[in-house]
Structures are given as structure tokens and as C-alpha cells.
């Protein structure tokens, strides 16, 4: 709750100038005869909070545009025709969402000082106040604002409402960031900038040079004015990365997945799309938009997938849509065996490598490349697992540190999507500087193994340290460290504690990103998270787990296990990166000084391996 008070001071002058001790004294001192504490009396002196308390307003808030000036509230303020006039008098001009931050801050501070639960109690919704335009509507018209509020109330009730933290990652201090205050530093442990490429000097130089020469924007869609050398070069680099005939760049991989699956599914006659149970929302949305028949198979379950394929006529077009690395649990798909089933039953494969590109394989092409590591390291992509995958999608916004998405496949397939997909045709092209930076990042990682190796070793270290403390990590062979909490509200409190007390930022993950009851903290080590930072994280998590009484592995085991944690008799999960691929020597256990990628010798930094 101290975190809540501190954040509230950013918006409320009263809290900013009042010490925590005074707040506690006000809340714990003898209440007045009418049952109102002295802190609530002080809150009534706020022209906004006083009016809000008088009319029992909702907990949603508006944004102040200038500091609030205190003045004595009066009973007449509660009888104003709308709360808007009260806010305007107080210098708060955006009142579209009800009570302002000043009022909310005081209310929450009172609850915090009194030791109450985290300000999630339901407050009677504010009576609809009408703007001049709204007042002209018929009284029987649908109340849109009440509908919006009702939907938000549902999110608050089930504890799945999403709070955004102001985290400003610093290029020169990676993986540090500042919060609202530029002087405050936190360590970011949940970024998808897996390799720190967003601050890579070669990437930044490429972007600056392109920005200076070609300007900020692309100027239009690819069909009108947004097709340029940067798009051509980037798509060529992506096609080469995946050893495919062609590639096509989109504004994001969400758009790439949606546009591609919706176009394919709608154009292929009587198409059936078989989708993994844990597929990303972008794939689910694309399948829905296609109008094609959808069959969901159990996560990574080859038997279930084959049974469903068997039920379909051989001549019916079929797409098996799945991911290589599932980002919330860290599991990895059996790509080769899925390709076997696709060949057997006349299907094509659609593989999302979003959380794998840059991270796996000798050139960073993803898990499909990684499965034939030696062949690709020697420049022999033919007859490999990656060559068997029909369609590969990926992102430029995670391991490559930029933004954008893409597809790669046969030339005819890519040309068809280019010609038919509305998500590609009717959107402005990525800026030249973004495409140039992404191209530089891809080419850099094609010949640089040390970043991937360092990231994997740091991941091993964190997982090993958490295991020593019986802190539950969902078992997986990838770079993801999902720390199981099992409750949405507790996960949010744990995240807040890490940020407030330890200056560690790990965002809580809840429904619908993960199933209800499987809420977690998703930790993603990078090459910049050395042993010193990792030890601080582990110590902080130990404190949080102890103080909040969060279940450990033994506790999950006692109830039969959940999400792979505490499952008796389960086989240990080995990391997909082997010691040999990481160039770890048996004698020293450290990364070798030299590694060979594509017949070029690359200098790698010696990094201590986890036990």
C-alpha cells in the first residue's frame, strides 16, 4: 500500500505535502461523531474529492491538466448540475471519466493508512451526467457510457483489469529504466527485447542515417508511395533467414497472422484450420475472420492432432496452425512430427516463430532452424525441418528490437497474400528507418551467436536459483521463466511489491493471456541480466513469496500439481540449447572464446554458466 500512496502523491498536492506518519495519524485518530475519520474530513476539503464523496462517485478518474488549488468545499457543491463544473473550477478539464486523480488518490490513501485491502471495493457507479451533446439524446436511448462502465466493472471484479506502469527503458543503461521520475531506476525483467537489440549501436546508427536521409514516415501504403529500397532489402533478408523464396513485411506480426490466416482460410475452398489450444490471439482472430471451419487440438498433443486430421477427407484443404515457442508457458512445439502429420494427411503448416526468431538456431531463424543446428551452421538448409514448414511468421519487435511482423514462404504464396490481404494492402508501410534498423538487426544476429548464448546461460542461472528455493517455475525448455502464482490479485500485489520495494519490474500476467487460476509473473532474462542482477531478483522473489504466503512447488505437489508445476513423476525438462551448441567446455563450464557461424569466426565473451 505504500506504493499506492507514493504513486498517488504524483497527482495529489495534499498527499505530496503530507507525510505517511501524518496520514496514519489522521486515519487512526478518533473519528468524529458521524463516523467519519479525520482523514476523510481532510479529503472533504478538496473541491473535487469533497464533491465526489457527496455524490458517491465512481472510482474511475480523469486527467488533470494543471495543479489543483485547494479551497473549502460547501454543501452547495454537491448540488451542482454536473460534477464537470466542480472539476473545471478546480482546474481539472478532462472529466469524461468521472472523478479525478486527486480524489481517487485521497480515497486510496485513506484505505492504505487504515490498512484496508487494495482499494478494490466496489463503489456505487456515478449517476450519468450529460454533456451538452448527450443531453439532446432521447431519454430511452441506449446508455453507452453505462455500458462501458459495466464492462470495466467486470474486469475489476474478477481482478483481470490491466494496469500500465510507466516504464521508460534506457538505451545506455540496459536493462535499467526510469519510471515517472527520470531520477528513479528500476531493473526491467519482463521485456521482450530479449537480446537488447533495441540499443545495439549498429542498429541505432542505421536508423539515424536512414532517418536523416529519408525522413520519418513511409508516405503511404506499399501500393501508393510506401514501397522502397528498405522494404525490398528487408524482405530479401527475411527470405534468406528462413531459406524461403519470398517474404512480406507487415506493421506487426499480429496483423501478419490475422491477415494471412483470414485470407488463406477464406480463399481455400472448404478449408479447415487445425489450431493448437494455446495459439496466440492473433492467430485465433485470423481464423475467426477467415470464416473457415476451425478445429482446436490439445496443446502439443500429436495423438489428438492426428485423430482430428483422420476425420477430414484427404482432398479438403487443411492448415495446421501452431507456434514454435509458446510465450506464456515456454513450451516448444514438436515441429518435425507435426510436419510428418501434415505430409501424411495433405495439410500445410503455418508456424509462428515470433518468440523464437533471433533466439534459436545458429543464424537466429528460430526453433525450426535450431532443430538442424549443425546443417544450418554449415550453410546446408536443404532437406531440413525448416525447409518442410510451408509458412513461417515472425516479428521484428522482440529479439530484433524494432517493430513490425512478416511472413515467409513460397513466392506464389507470398504474392497471393500481397495481392489479396486487406491487412497488408490498406495500411501505411513501416517507416524507412524502422525497416533499415530491423534489417541491420537481422544481419547482425545471423553472424553473432554470443547474444543468444548469453541469454540462454542467464536463463539457466535464474531457473536454477529459483529451483533451489522451491519457487515454482512452469517447466519448459526455452528462454521463458514463468513463475506460477495461481491468483490474479496476488500476482498483481507481488508485482507491485517487486517494483516498490526492490525496484524490479515484472508484470503480472492474468486472464485472458493465461487461464484463470494460472496467473504468473513472466520473467525474461537478457544478456544484460548478469549474476548480480539475477541474485537480487531471486532474493526479492523469495521475500515476496514468504510475506504473501504464495504456494511453492511442494504446495502445488500436495494438490496434484498445476501447469506442470508439482506434478509427481514428471520427467525433467532439458533446455533446447545443448551445452555443445552453447560452446560450453566440459572442463571449465564457460563459454568458449571463439565460435563458428557460417564458416566465420566470431568472438564471444566468456560467460559463466549456471550449475
Report yes or no: 381 and 389 within 8 Å, Cβ to Cβ.
no
Residue 398 catalytic? yes
Closest CA to 18 of 10, 9, 27: 9
Report in angstroms the alpha-carbon separations of 117 from 120, 122, 265: 7, 12, 49
3-class secondary structure for 462-504? HHHHHHHCCCCECCCCCCCEEEECCCHHHHHHHHHHHHHHHCE
Q: Which three cell numbers stand for residue 118?
A: 487494495
DSSP string, 273-298: EEEETT--HHHHHHHHHHT-EEEEE-
CA 262 to CA 271: how far, in whole Å?
Answer: 11
Cα 286 from Cα 291, distance rounded (Å): 9
Torsions phi, psi of 543, nearest 5?
A: -65, -45
Burial class (CB in 10 A: 0-12, 13-18, 19+), 295: middle
- Give the integer Cα–Cα distance in Å for 354 and 282: 11
66: exposed, middle or buried (Cβ count in 10 Å: 0-12, 13-18, 19+): exposed
* Cell numbers standing for residue 608: 559463466
**CA torsion, ordered 17, 38, 49, 97, to nearest 10 deg:** 90
Question: Got the DSSP string for 105-163?
Answer: HHHHHHHHHTT-SSS----PPPPP---TTGGGS-TTS--HHHHHHHHHHHHHHTT----
The conformational region for residue 272 under phi > 0 = left, psi -120 to 50 = alpha, else beta, is: beta
What is the bridge-based pairing of β-strands 520-523 and 508-509?
Answer: antiparallel
Instruction: Judge contact between 175 and 528, C-beta under 8 A.
Output: yes
Task: Name the grid cell of 26.
Answer: 489522521
Cis previous bond, 175, omega within 30: yes
Residue 207: closest CA among 431, 528, 517, 449: 431
Task: Spot the catalytic one: 398, 450, 463, 465.
Answer: 398
- Closest to 567 (Cα-Cα) out of 576, 577, 556: 556
| Residue 474 burial (CB count, 10 A) | 22
Distance CA 387, CA 384 (A): 5
Which residues form the catalytic set? 398
Amino acid at each position: 500500500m505504500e506504493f499506492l500512496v507514493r504513486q498517488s502523491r504524483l497527482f495529489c498536492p495534499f498527499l505530496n505535502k503530507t507525510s505517511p506518519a501524518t496520514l496514519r495519524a489522521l486515519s487512526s485518530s478518533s473519528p468524529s461523531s458521524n463516523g467519519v475519520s479525520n482523514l476523510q474530513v481532510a479529503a472533504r476539503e478538496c473541491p473535487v474529492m469533497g464533491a465526489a464523496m457527496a455524490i458517491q462517485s465512481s472510482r474511475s478518474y480523469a486527467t488533470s491538466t494543471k495543479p489543483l488549488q485547494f479551497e473549502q468545499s460547501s454543501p452547495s457543491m454537491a448540488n451542482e448540475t454536473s460534477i464537470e463544473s466542480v472539476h473545471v473550477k478546480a482546474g481539472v478539464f478532462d472529466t469524461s471519466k468521472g472523478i479525478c486523480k486527486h480524489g481517487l488518490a485521497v480515497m486510496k490513501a485513506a484505505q492504505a493508512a487504515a490498512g484496508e485491502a487494495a482499494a478494490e471495493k466496489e463503489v456505487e457507479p456515478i449517476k450519468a451526467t450529460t454533456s451538452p451533446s448527450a443531453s439532446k439524446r432521447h431519454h430511452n436511448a441506449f446508455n453507452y457510457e453505462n455500458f462501458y462502465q459495466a464492462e470495466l466493472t467486470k474486469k475489476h471484479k474478477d481482478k483481470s483489469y490491466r494496469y500500465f506502469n510507466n516504464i521508460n527503458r534506457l538505451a545506455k543503461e540496459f536493462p535499467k529504466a526510469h519510471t515517472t521520475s527520470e531520477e528513479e531506476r528500476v531493473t526491467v525483467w519482463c521485456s521482450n527485447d530479449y537480446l537488447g537489440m533495441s540499443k545495439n549501436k549498429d542498429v541505432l546508427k542505421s536508423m539515424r542515417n536512414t532517418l536523416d536521409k529519408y525522413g520519418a514516415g513511409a508516405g503511404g501504403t506499399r501500393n501508393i508511395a510506401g514501397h522502397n529500397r528498405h522494404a525490398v532489402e528487408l524482405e530479401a533478408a527475411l527470405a534468406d533467414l528462413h531459406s524461403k523464396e519470398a517474404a512480406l513485411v507487415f506493421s506487426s506480426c499480429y496483423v501478419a497472422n490475422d491477415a494471412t490466416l483470414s485470407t488463406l482460410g477464406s480463399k481455400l475452398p472448404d478449408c479447415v484450420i487445425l489450431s493448437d489450444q494455446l495459439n496466440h490471439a492473433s492467430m485465433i482472430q485470423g481464423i475467426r475472420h477467415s470464416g473457415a471451419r476451425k478445429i482446436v487440438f490439445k496443446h502439443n498433443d500429436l495423438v489428438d492432432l492426428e485423430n482430428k486430421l483422420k476425420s477430414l477427407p484427404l482432398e479438403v484443404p487443411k492448415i495446421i496452425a501452431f507456434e514454435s515457442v509458446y510465450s506464456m508457458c515456454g513450451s516448444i512445439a514438436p515441429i518435425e512430427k507435426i510436419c510428418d502429420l501434415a505430409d501424411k494427411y495433405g495439410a500445410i503448416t503455418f508456424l509462428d516463430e515470433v518468440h523464437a526468431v533471433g533466439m534459436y538456431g545458429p543464424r537466429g531463424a528460430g526453433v525450426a532452424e535450431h532443430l538442424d543446428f549443425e546443417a544450418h551452421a554449415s550453410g546446408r538448409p536443404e532437406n531440413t525441418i525448416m525447409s518442410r514448414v510451408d509458412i513461417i511468421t515472425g516479428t521484428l519487435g522482440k529479439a530484433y528490437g524494432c517493430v513490425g511482423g512478416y511472413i515467409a514462404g513460397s513466392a506464389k504464396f507470398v504474392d497471393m497474400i500481397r495481392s489479396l490481404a486487406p491487412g497488408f494492402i490498406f495500411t501505411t508501410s513501416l517507416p524507412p528507418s524502422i525497416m533499415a534498423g530491423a534489417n541491420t538487426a537481422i544481419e547482425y544476429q545471423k553472424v553473432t551467436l554470443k547474444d543468444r548464448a548469453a541469454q540462454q546461460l542467464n536463463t539457466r542461472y535464474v531457473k536454477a536459483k529459483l529451483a533451489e528455493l522451491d519457487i515454482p517455475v512452469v517447466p519448459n525448455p526455452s528462454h521463458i521463466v514463468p513463475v506460477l502464482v495461481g491468483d490474479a490479485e496476488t500476482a498483481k500485489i507481488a508485482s507491485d511489491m517487486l517494483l516498490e520495494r526492490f525496484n524490479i519490474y515484472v508484470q503480472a500476467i492474468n486472464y485472458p493471456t493465461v487461464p484463470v487460476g494460472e496467473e504468473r509473473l513472466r520473467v525474461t532474462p537478457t544478456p544484460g541480466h548478469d549474476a548480480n542482477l539475477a541474485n537480487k531478483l531471486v532474493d526479492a522473489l523469495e521475500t515476496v513469496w514468504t510475506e504473501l504466503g504464495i504456494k511453492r512447488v511442494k504446495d502445488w505437489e500436495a494438490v496434484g500439481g498445476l501447469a506442470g508445476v508439482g506434478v509427481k513423476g514428471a520427467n525433467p525438462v532439458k533446455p533446447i540449447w545443448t551445452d555443445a551448441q552453447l560452446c560450453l567446455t566440459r572442463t571449465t563450464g564457460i563459454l568458449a572464446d571463439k565460435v563458428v557461424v557460417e564458416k566465420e569466426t566470431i568472438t564471444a565473451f566468456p560467460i559463466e554458466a549456471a550449475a
